[in-house]
Structure 1
């Protein structure tokens, strides 16, 4: 089981690496999901996610998550074939947490250098926790 700290990691790059590792059979836990980064201007990012949420109705969907851990899970789910058996099994090997849960506090958390914030050439980015609060999450 691998524990990945999402602090200062770019969401899409982290998600693609995690999706590949899940499909290879690895069990992964992601902590500090609210500290992940989405590159781009804050207003543009907010408007894009707001469109996802406003797309459907409350009764019939489609429902898009607002909490940071669920946004990370949904992003990773989009990168695996979740409608097929191998994709479902891979998705079930993933757990995402806000903060650090007590059962993982003693585990050594790794990071992904290929998804580091240092790869950004601009200072335009949004922290996932801030985006979630603007979308109405009460995590």
Structure 2
């Protein structure tokens, strides 16, 4: 939820809900994400292929094994507004499974969470 707040710009004194005043966020080590309880086995992620009967489901553990960055991205997407502004804010999020990322030229500042 801290990532969503930074993407929206809620940590700034100039926050207005109708303007995109948030910052870009780079998340690393997405494969080390932890979920509480039994959510790894019980939480389902669904998507539709577009074909008849094409509703696909996978658990959080399957999604983490296949695409660990998508697990974090889908969680943050659920915290943002479901509008064009929310989609623009989600485009400012970059998630990487490992520790390496190609954004070192932008001199990112580490954000302390928790």
Shared fold (TM-score, shorter chain, > 0.5): yes
Interval of TM-score (by shorter of Structure 1 and Structure 2): 0.5 to 0.7
User: TM-score of the superposition, structure 1-length normalised?
Assistant: 0.54
Larger radius of gyration: 2
Deviation at 1:104, TM superposition (A): 4.0
Map residues 27-46 of structure 1 onto 2, 5 A cutoff: 27-40=24-37, 44-46=38-40
CA RMSD of aligned residues (A): 2.8
User: TM-score of the superposition, structure 2-length normalised?
Assistant: 0.64
Q: Distance in 2 between matches of 1:76 and 1:33?
A: 13
In the alignment, does 2:62 pair up with 1:77?
A: no
| CA distance 1:36–1:112, shift in 2 (3 Å) | farther
| CA distance 1:87–1:61, shift in 2 (3 Å) | same
Segments of structure 2 that go 5 or more residues without pairing to the other structure are 10-21
Secondary structure at 1:38 match in 2: coil
Q: Distance in 2 between matches of 1:22 and 1:100?
A: 21
Q: Larger relative CO (CA 8 A, sep 6+): 1 or 2? A: 1
Q: Which has the higher helix share?
A: 1
